[in-house]
Amino acid sequence: MTDKQKEFLRLHVICQEDYNTISNKLNESRASLSQWYEELKLERMEITKIRTLWKRKKICSDFEVFYKWYKSHEHRCDYCGITEKEISFLIENRQLETKRLATRGRSLELDRKDPKLMYDDLNNIVFACYWCNNAKTDTFTYQEFKEVGNVFSKIWKERYKNIVDK
């Protein structure tokens, strides 16, 4: 992907500017922009997924600010440390199950470290796996649940090890 195509994605999908404005800013024809739109479908879909999360959680920051935050943070549960790749591996090997897998569990979620605060402050938001996010509820403090997350981490590592060692 070229720098101009990256800027096109930023302007069109993130900032939601129209083709005329983008065409002028990038000094590119509308035909080129339309071609890029098709070529960059997977990238557009990823950004759209992040925008949907931003809207659903009613995060108060500008979408571009949230998008940069989202892309700059490691996608690992802040409590137990599991990654989406590890979650997929454990699910595929029937070591992680929930009746909600159709809607939750396959990807990391956003959790508020302090549940009394809304999603106003990006410093209050962390990635959490379904199991940690579900168990933490609004009952535990961030620091208390970090300790619980350590126990979950040991369980995930043991399950992972059992599969690899077979």
- Among the residue ranges 103-107, 124-128, 154-158, the one predicted with the least confidence is 103-107
**What is the predicted pLDDT for the residue at 138?**
86
Angle at 46 between CA 157 and CA 22, to 5 degrees: 150
Beta bridge partners of 110: 127
Beta bridge partners of 125: 112
Q: Is the model's pLDDT at 166 over the cut of 80?
A: no
Nearest partner of 9 among 58, 55, 38, 56, judged by Cα:
38
Give the percent of the chain with pLDDT over 70: 99
**What is the predicted pLDDT for the residue at 121?**
87
pLDDT in tens, 113-139: 998 887 878 999 999 999 999 999 888
CA R_g for the chain: 19
> Across residues 30-44, what is the average pLDDT?
94
